[in-house]
């Protein structure tokens, strides 16, 4: 029985929305956990740090599993891990058990992120791949924006535990959808693609694309993690409004990816990447001079709008270039990307301590210029992909 392309793409979109929830859930519930367990800054940091560790582990594992066993098994297992982790946050009160739950959320989220990107890539032809991946990014934005919105809207009526339990139950329902529909067959029928995976490490094209995502993921993480500190230290914007302004960054990315789904099949992808870099630089220059909530929100929307093209376009390149082992190739790139998120956040901590928090937008602009240099120096390689 052949799989239904539309049903499979819907499954990918559902999985990516769940990743958006998984990635944002700790930021939404951390204040209540911190107050409940009287955690200091170190305790809160050690608790939330398990989420990216889980995401990195999931990103490392998903590729070879998908190429060997197919998508159904991985989507079911990863959604199960994520839903159990979220349910656990709302049920258990032992801190050590909560740490396991947070790791599970990250592990399931990391596998969902990689698997849904690889799945959307595999079921798309070369012309539509970037557009389909952009819509997938919109679904991430729906999940990432929906979770804090849901908590904000329902917190007056229901406790955060009840809301989390309801979210977990919705994920359980989606698992049944993953079980009943038909997915593409595994690419590798026997054995794990260890040899092919090792050979990928030597691929100049994949290394260049992964290196681009290293900076892409790092910049997205920097804006999510450091904007509140920057605005707190440089403006008179209240703490609540500072947190609110961050939603405009995600909103900018979501709107941009919706538009990208229409223009990627028409305009050359390398032009879109360069245009996105220039747009993001403009947004960050405005952020550098932002003095109130309105200007900060506009600047973050523009920055998010510009950064939105990075992941869909680059994952599209990888999916097109490594169709026979796309899961493993995308997994390799995701691990490099997440490493950039971690390392560049550490670098920002050092820069902030040495030169002050005011250097935050300038640091990201420098990273954007490095991305532009990477594109220019590899322009011939990019043109040969399609």
Model confidence pLDDT, tens digit, residues 188-215 = 766 555 666 677 778 888 999 999 999 9
Task: Label residue 255 exposed, middle or buried (CB < 10 Å: 0-12, 13-18, 19+).
Answer: middle
Q: Backbone phi, then psi, for 39, in 5-degree steps?
A: -80, 140
Please write the tens of the pLDDT for every residue from 218-230: 999 888 878 877 8
- pLDDT digits 0-9 by tens, 61-76: 888 788 888 899 999 9
| 3 state SS of 384 | coil
With cut-offs at 50, 70 and 90, classify the pLDDT of residue 171.
Answer: confident
48 vs 211: CA distance, rounded Å: 26
* pLDDT above 80: residue 44: no
- 347 burial via Cβ count (<10 Å: 0-12, 13-18, 19+): middle
Instruction: Mark residue 70 as left, alpha or beta (left: phi above 0; alpha: psi -120 to 50; beta: remaining).
Output: left
The mean pLDDT value for 348-364 works out to 87
Residue 31's contacts (CB-CB under 8 Å, 6 or more residues apart) are none
- Check if the beta carbon of residue 142 is closer than 8 Å to that of residue 158: no
Contacts of 170 (CB under 8 A, 6+ apart): none
pLDDT for residue 266 is more than 80: yes
Can you tell me whether residue 238 is helix, strand or coil? coil
Q: What is the chain's mean pLDDT, rounded?
A: 85
For 36, the enclosing helix (H) or strand (E) is: helix 5-36
pLDDT at 276 over 90: yes
367 pLDDT band, cuts 50/70/90, is: very high
Higher pLDDT, 22 or 374: 374
As a whole number of Å, the end-to-end CA separation of the chain is 31
Task: Evaluate if residue 283 carries a pLDDT over 90.
Answer: yes
pTM of the model: 0.86
Q: What percent of the chain has pLDDT over 70?
A: 89
Q: What would the mean pLDDT of 126-135 be, rounded to a whole number?
A: 89
Rounded-to-integer distance, Cα 59 and Cα 336, Å:
10
Give the DSSP letter string of 187-203. S--SS--HHHHHHHTT-
Q: How many CB atoms lie within 10 A of CB 370?
A: 15
């Amino acid at each position: 029985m052949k799989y239904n392309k539309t049903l499979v793409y819907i499954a990918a979109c559902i999985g990516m929305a769940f990743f958006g929830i998984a990635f944002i859930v700790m930021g939404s519930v951390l204040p209540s956990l911190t107050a409940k367990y009287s955690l200091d800054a170190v305790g809160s940091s050690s608790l939330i740090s398990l989420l990216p560790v889980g995401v990195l582990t999931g990103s490392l594992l998903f590729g070879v599993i998908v190429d060997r066993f197919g998508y159904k098994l991985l989507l079911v297992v990863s959604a199960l891990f994520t839903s159990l982790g979220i349910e656990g946050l709302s049920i258990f009160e032992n801190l050590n058990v909560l740490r396991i739950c947070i790791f599970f959320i990250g592990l399931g989220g990391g596998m969902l992120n990689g698997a849904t990107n690889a799945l959307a890539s595999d079921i798309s032809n070369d012309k539509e791949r970037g557009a389909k991946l952009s819509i997938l990014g919109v679904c991430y934005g729906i999940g990432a924006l929906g979770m804090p919105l849901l908590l904000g809207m329902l917190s007056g009526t229901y406790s955060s535990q009840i809301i989390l339990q309801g979210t977990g139950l919705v994920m359980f329902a989606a698992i049944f959808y993953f079980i009943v529909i038909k997915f593409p067959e595994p690419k590798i029928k026997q054995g794990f693609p260890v040899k092919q995976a090792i050979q990928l490490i030597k691929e100049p094209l994949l290394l260049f694309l992964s290196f681009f995502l290293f900076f892409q993921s790092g910049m997205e993480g920097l804006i999510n993690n450091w904007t509140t500190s920057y605005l707190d230290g440089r403006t008179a914007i209240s703490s609540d409004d500072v947190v609110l302004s961050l939603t405009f960054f995600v909103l900018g990315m979501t709107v941009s990816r919706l538009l990208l789904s229409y223009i990627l099949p028409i305009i050359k992808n390398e032009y879109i990447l360069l245009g996105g870099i220039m747009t993001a630089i403009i947004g960050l220059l405005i952020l550098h001079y932002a003095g109130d909530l309105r200007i900060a929100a506009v600047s973050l929307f523009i920055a998010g709008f510009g950064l939105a093209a990075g992941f869909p376009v680059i994952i599209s390149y990888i999916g097109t270039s490594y169709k026979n082992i796309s899961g493993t190739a995308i997994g390799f790139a995701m691990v490099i990307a997440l490493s950039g998120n971690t390392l560049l956040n550490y670098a920002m901590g050092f820069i902030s301590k040495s030169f002050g928090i005011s250097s935050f937008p300038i640091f990201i602009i420098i990273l954007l210029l490095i991305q532009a240099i990477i594109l220019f120096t590899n322009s011939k390689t990019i043109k040969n992909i399609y």
